[in-house]
Amino acid sequence: MKNIVICCDGTWNTSNDLDNGVPVSTNVVRLYNAAAELDSHGNSQHRYYHPGVGTDGSWWNKAIGGGTGQGFNKKYYERLPR
């Protein structure tokens, strides 16, 4: 049996966010990092982290993506484990 852990971050959040130049982790990133590669029974766990919408491209794409969620489906389905 395989477990799948999917962690989707919030709007404009990524795994390498900075606050005044200091690296910070969102709770979603912390949860992703805390998920082990094996569960307590030794079964594999596939971990997947998805940055928030509005994190790709130009400032315009970020504004549209963050404001409307545009691009979520494409990014999400491309990265799902098969």
Q: What is the structure's pLDDT at 56?
A: 80
Task: For residues 48 and 37, give the distance between their C-alpha atoms in angstroms, rounded to a whole number.
Answer: 11
pLDDT, tens only, 29-52:
999 999 999 999 999 999 989 888
Task: For residues 43 and 55, give the distance between their C-alpha atoms in angstroms, rounded to a whole number.
Answer: 33
56 vs 46, higher pLDDT: 46
Closest among 39, 44, 54, 45 to 9, alpha carbons compared: 54
pTM of the model: 0.74
